Amino acid sequence: MVLQRIFRAVIMGPPGSGKGTVSGRITKTFGLKHISSGDILRSNIDAKTELGLLMKACIDQGQLVPDGVMSRLILSDLRALGPNSWLLDGFPRTISQAESLDDAYNVDTAINLNVPLEIIKQRLTSRWTHLPSGRVYNIDFNPPKVPGFDDVTGEPLVQRDDDTPETVTRRLNAYKTQTEPVLEYYRSKGILETFSGTETNKIWPHIEAFLHRRLSVNQKVA
C-alpha cells in the first residue's frame, strides 16, 4: 500500500505481547518505517559505546533506560527519517517520553496489544532473536527454517540476556508501574486502540482491518 499522507503510530503492550511480531506484519503490509527502541538500544550495546554500557546495565536488570537518554536517541532517529510514515515500537514507555514525542510530532494512533501476563513468560523464555535485524522467532510459534539461524541472512540467532525468568518479572513490574499510565494518557487523547487476545494470529486480522480503515480514510482526506 502506498500512503499519500503521513501516518504516525506507536505500538504498545507488555514485554512479549508481540509488538515486534505485529510491527513486522504492519511494515510489510502498509509500508510504514519501523523504529524499535529495544533494537536501537541493543545495537548501541553491540557497538560497545560508553552509553551502551549504561544501557546494558539497565536492560539486564529489567529497568528502563533514563528518559532523557531515551528521548534524545529516538527523536534523533525520527528526525533522520524525515517526512515519512512510521511505527514506533517500545517508545514511549513513560509519561515523560510520551510528552517529548508529542512536543515534536502528532501521533495518529496508539495500538495497544493486551495479552494476558500469564502466557508472556513462556513466550519470552523460548524466543530466539536475530540481533542485527530484530527479527524474532519462537520455538513453538514461528520456528526458524533451520534451528538456530535467521531465515533471511542465515546468521546465528541468540537468546536475549534479559529473557531470563527473573528479569522478565522485573520488566513486567516496570511495565505496570511506568508504562501502563501511558495507555491512560493516549486514551484521554482519544487515540488508543486496544486489541486483546492470547494469540497474535487471531489479533492480527483485527489490527490489519483497523489500519486499512484508518489509512483509507486518511487517503480520502488527502
Question: 3-class DSSP state for residue 34?
Answer: strand
User: Distance between CA 87 and CA 149 in Å, rounded?
Assistant: 27
Which of 182, 201, 200 has its CA nearest to residue 192?
182
Catalytic site includes residue 72: no
- 118-177: which residues touch ligand G5P (CB under 6 A)? 123-124, 127, 136-138, 140-142, 162, 171
Q: How many CB atoms lie within 10 A of CB 196?
A: 12
Q: Should residue 112 be labelled a site residue for ligand G5P when binding is judged by CB under 6 A?
A: no
Binding-site positions for AMP: 37, 42, 63-65, 90-93, 97, 160, 171
Among 7, 8, 9, 18, binds ligand G5P (CB under 6 A): 18
- 8-37: which residues touch Mg ion (CB under 5 A)? 19-20
Q: Should residue 8 be labelled a site residue for ligand G5P when binding is judged by CB under 6 A?
A: no
Cβ 170 vs Cβ 13: under 8 Å: no
Q: Which stretch binds ligand G5P (CB under 6 A): 45-53, 61-69, 148-156, 188-196?
A: 61-69
Which of 44, 20, 207 has its CA nearest to residue 127?
20
Among 37, 85, 100, 109, binds ligand G5P (CB under 6 A): 37
Q: Should residue 70 be labelled a site residue for ligand G5P when binding is judged by CB under 6 A?
A: yes
Name which of 8 and 171 has its Cβ closer to Mg ion: 171
Among 3, 6, 58, 107, binds ligand G5P (CB under 6 A): 58
* Partner whose footprint covers residue 58, from ligand G5P, Mg ion, none (CB < 5 to 8 Å by kind): ligand G5P
Q: What is the DSSP letter of 138?
A: E
Count of alpha carbons within 13 angstroms of residue 74, beta-carbon side? 29
Catalytic site includes residue 93: yes
Alpha-helical regions (H) of the chain: 19-30, 37-46, 50-60, 67-81, 95-104, 120-125, 165-174, 180-188, 200-221
Question: 3-class DSSP state for residue 195?
Answer: strand
Cβ 128 vs Cβ 139: under 8 Å: yes
Catalytic residue (choose from 19, 56, 123, 135): 19
Shortest distance in whole angstroms from residue 37 CB to ligand G5P: 3
| β-strand partners of 12 | 112
Catalytic site includes residue 160: yes
Residues at the interface with Mg ion (CB under 5 A): 19-20
Residues at the interface with ligand G5P (CB under 6 A): 13, 15-21, 37-38, 41, 58-59, 62-65, 70, 90-91, 93, 97, 123-124, 127, 136-138, 140-142, 162, 171, 199-200
**Catalytic annotation, residues:** 19, 93, 127, 160, 171
